[in-house]
Amino acid sequence: MELRLARPCVDDPTRYTAEGNFGCRISIEKLPSLLGGKVSGMRCSTRLGVAKFELGGRTVMVYQNGRIDIRRVKDMAEAGSVVDEVRALISAAFTCTPAYTARS
């Protein structure tokens, strides 16, 4: 996954917004059941294709096209840790097909 610190946060210029992409689509309608009780402030719109929630003091937005935005991270290492945590929580909602093709 390509992950980058896009810009400083408006409310705290010592923190950043990180942007990345999981590389596959996400079934937004599955997220409430996968994240229930594990995150706070969960809001989800299947019509808009986005879910927003709080995880460890950071605001996370996950989009149906696979994009992820994480607000209030201090550096790339922290952003990577949050992405790994989110991936573990929502992997059942990934709708990608494996790139692997068997050959005989």
Q: What is the mean pLDDT of residues 1-26?
A: 92
With a cut of 90, say whether residue 30 has pLDDT above it: yes
What are the structural domains of the chain? 3-93 (3.30.310.10)
pLDDT for position 102 = 47
pLDDT for position 97 = 60
Instruction: Determine how β-strand 58-63 pairs with β-strand 67-73.
Output: antiparallel
- Residue 35 tokens read as 């994240």
pTM, full prediction: 0.88
Q: What is the mean pLDDT of residues 39-65?
A: 96
Which helix (H) or strand (E) segment holds residue 80: the answer is helix 76-90
pLDDT, tens digit, 9 for 90 and up, residues 76-94:
999 999 999 999 999 999 9
